[in-house]
Structure 1
Amino acid sequence: MTVGHRVLGAVLTASLLVVTTTLSGCATRDEPRPVLPSGTESRTIDVDGTSREYLVHVPDRRAAEATLVVFLHGGFGSAAQAEFAYDWDEIADRERIVVAYPQGDGAAWNAGDCCGTPARRSVDDVAFISAVVAELQAELGVAPSRTFATGMSNGAMMTYRMACDTDMFAAIAPVAGTVVTPCDSPPPASVLHIHGLDDERVRYDGEPGSGATRVDGLPVDDVIALWRAADACQDPVVTHLPPLTTTRSSCADGRVVELITISGAGHQWPGAAGRGLSDPDPASSAINATETIWDFFDDD
């Protein structure tokens, strides 16, 4: 073989490698996202060397626009208890959305000044929940505009901490919680807050609550004012339909800040079926919080 032939052979080989590599790259980019099995799956995820757990519920068919709701259980609760008690799987199957249930360390969340072992040990629950959201957004193709969070009690406090420390949720809906972490200028987000006016565990007026944790956070009115300022809201419209009072503000960029209070209701998830609850007080029948929250998210 002459030198010229050897050079030509090398050029052809190099060209073939380039074409092969390019085609392979196209195949990789065009691969469909993995199809998650329907039903509830238990998962683990590594967060800074620590293995954390969460459940994810996937409907038989997903809507064309992928949606993710993250539910954070209350103190002394669990991911499995929350899935069983609050009917979010029913919403997921009906509306073809995905719901994730992260598991708190020691049955609680480090929401700031509360609660329990996670707060004392400075567990980084912000990193954990952020990792869960990032993993599912990547797998499902969920846009930030269709990523939401809700929670009960200590889970509601953790929901607020996520909204204070990150901008990953388009809307949040805490129930029977408050802000117990520094949060002077939260990123804009739509907020629906539901609270019983007779809640002695997380008091509406911000005074220390009853129970072992003695929750001492912001008064709920101050929490709502914080997000009205962050969202550049208009003056609220107040509607009284006893025992409910709804205060709703329209805000910049289509956001909404809404507060629903329930006269005579304690520390509970309104409308819950009563099975597997960690809530200390009977559930109010004035509204169904799960349905109300989903309507709020879906309209966001």
Structure 2
Amino acid sequence: MTVPSSVYVPYDHANPATAAVGTVTDEWVTTPDGRRRHFRLYVPSGVAVGGENVPLLVALHGGLGSSEQFAANSGFDELAESNGFIVVYPDGIRAIPERPGLQTWNGGYCCGPAADRNVDDVAYVRFLLDLLATRFDVDSGRVFAAGHSNGAIMAYRLACELSDRIVAIGVQAGSLGIDICQPMEPVSVLHIHGLADTNHPIDGGRGTGVSGVEFRSGRDAVKAMSVKFDCSADPIERTMTSNDDVENLLWSGCEKGSRIELVTVAGASHAWMGHRAATSGSAALVGEPYMDFDASRAIWSFLNSLSANGG
């Protein structure tokens, strides 16, 4: 059951993207498990080393993606520049050791070598958060994660297992990859999913992508989080006045002011919405993007609204 509809305004807490004129660094680190891991960091021009009370976004690429690919595909650098947040793009574990640029995350049941080897990617993200906290005055109340596909599944895992650090996640085309989710604190969730996504169908099932994964349901993930955080049983149904393809379900009344939202987009494929693929190879994997909804700006608006509203 849903509550009668109201209006969904997806971008009201996010400034439009501007040219990314900040600083990009690529770094290799040795993690506590002894692995050499890579990450890409974008610091907007208005934020200096040691800058005060800065929001931080952890942006997780999809399966067979990379930090460089997701930065180019998502446009989070440009949003970071106009909205004043730092964005770190970690890299997963290489699917083929000698081939950079094809990485996966251990989100639980998915995906690839990272899951098969039971790589502790949660510990890796915690390590990065600790590292960045030594360089910047990161606002601990505004540490967020975003992810696409396998990266979305990984973001859900962070919500379950790193809730003492991650306060909210915004994802596209994911699901809950672990059977036991016991967060220490409530985590707000924005889940975006295209109804024409066959790589990771919203209701679960075998994807048409090269991985051939039997995916879990995205709808079930959202519902599970709403129950876990004791949200209202019946979500409010909201629509965009300018786009009939977009529908939003909002679960409110959750613990400690957290929120759970599901955005579905009719006609949208697996590709990151509102942004062209970084390469022709990426486009071949995920299809053509739906360009009338900007997933990146909607995600940042949601995350930023939690600060604005005290949630």
TM-score using structure 1 length: 0.83
Matched, 1:82 2:70: yes
Indicate if the aligned counterparts of 1:109 and 1:125 stay in contact, CA closer than 8 A: yes
- Work out which structure has the larger RCO, using CA pairs closer than 8 Å and 6 or more positions apart in sequence: 2
Indicate if the aligned counterparts of 2:199 and 2:208 stay in contact, CA closer than 8 A: yes
- Tell me the equivalent position of 2:13: none
Whose helix proportion is higher, 1 or 2? 1
- 3-state DSSP class of the match of 1:297? helix
- 3-state DSSP class of the match of 1:134? helix
Cα offset for 1:270?
0.8
1:177 to 174, 178, 190: 174
2:29 to 16, 29, 45: 45
Cα offset for 1:185?
3.4
Indicate if the aligned counterparts of 1:42 and 1:54 stay in contact, CA closer than 8 A: yes
Map 1:211-230 → 2, pairs under 5 A? 211-230=209-228
Map 1:103-252 → 2, pairs under 5 A? 103-106=91-94, 107-167=103-163, 168-186=165-183, 187-234=185-232, 235-241=234-240, 242-250=244-252, 251-252=254-255
- Tell me the equivalent position of 2:39: 54
In the TM superposition, what whole-angstrom CA distance separates every residue of 1:91-150 from its partner, at most 9, and x where no partner exists? 111112100000111111111111111112222211111111121123212133110000
- 3-state DSSP class of the match of 1:83? helix
Matched, 1:95 2:83: yes
- 3-state DSSP class of the match of 2:107? coil
Bigger shift: residues 145-154 or 46-55: 46-55
C-alpha spacing 1:222/1:280, structure 2 compared with 1 (3 Å): same
Q: Distance in 1 between matches of 2:70 and 2:211?
A: 20
The aligned amino acid for 1:45 is: V
Cα offset for 1:38?
4.7
- 3-state DSSP class of the match of 1:144? strand
- After TM superposition, which residue ranges in structure 1, 4 or more long, deviate above 4 angstroms? none
Cα offset for 1:208?
2.1
Bigger shift: residues 165-174 or 131-140: 131-140
Cα offset for 1:295?
0.5
Q: Distance in 1 between matches of 2:219 and 2:63?
A: 23
- Tell me the equivalent position of 1:25: none
Q: Distance in 1 between matches of 2:299 and 2:42?
A: 18
Gaps of 5+ in 1: 1-36
Map 1:13-52 → 2, pairs under 5 A? 38-47=22-31, 48-52=33-37
Q: Distance in 2 between matches of 1:217 and 1:135?
A: 33
Map 1:2-17 → 2, pairs under 5 A? none
Q: Distance in 2 between matches of 1:145 and 1:230?
A: 21
C-alpha spacing 1:179/1:66, structure 2 compared with 1 (3 Å): same
Matched, 1:254 2:264: no
Indicate if the aligned counterparts of 2:247 and 2:265 stay in contact, CA closer than 8 A: yes
Q: Distance in 2 between matches of 1:229 and 1:128?
A: 28
Cα offset for 1:64?
4.5
Bigger shift: residues 230-239 or 66-75: 230-239
- 3-state DSSP class of the match of 2:135? helix
TM-score using structure 2 length: 0.80
C-alpha spacing 1:144/1:230, structure 2 compared with 1 (3 Å): farther
C-alpha spacing 1:266/1:38, structure 2 compared with 1 (3 Å): closer
The aligned amino acid for 1:72 is: L
C-alpha spacing 1:239/1:54, structure 2 compared with 1 (3 Å): same
User: What is the number of residues matched between the two proteins?
Assistant: 264
Indicate if the aligned counterparts of 1:243 and 1:286 stay in contact, CA closer than 8 A: no
Q: In percent, how many aligned pairs have the same letter?
A: 34
Q: Distance in 2 between matches of 1:253 and 1:122?
A: 32
Cα offset for 1:184?
3.8
Q: Distance in 2 between matches of 1:194 and 1:299?
A: 17
Cα offset for 1:158?
0.9
Gaps of 5+ in 2: 1-20, 95-102, 307-311
Q: Distance in 2 between matches of 1:239 and 1:71?
A: 27
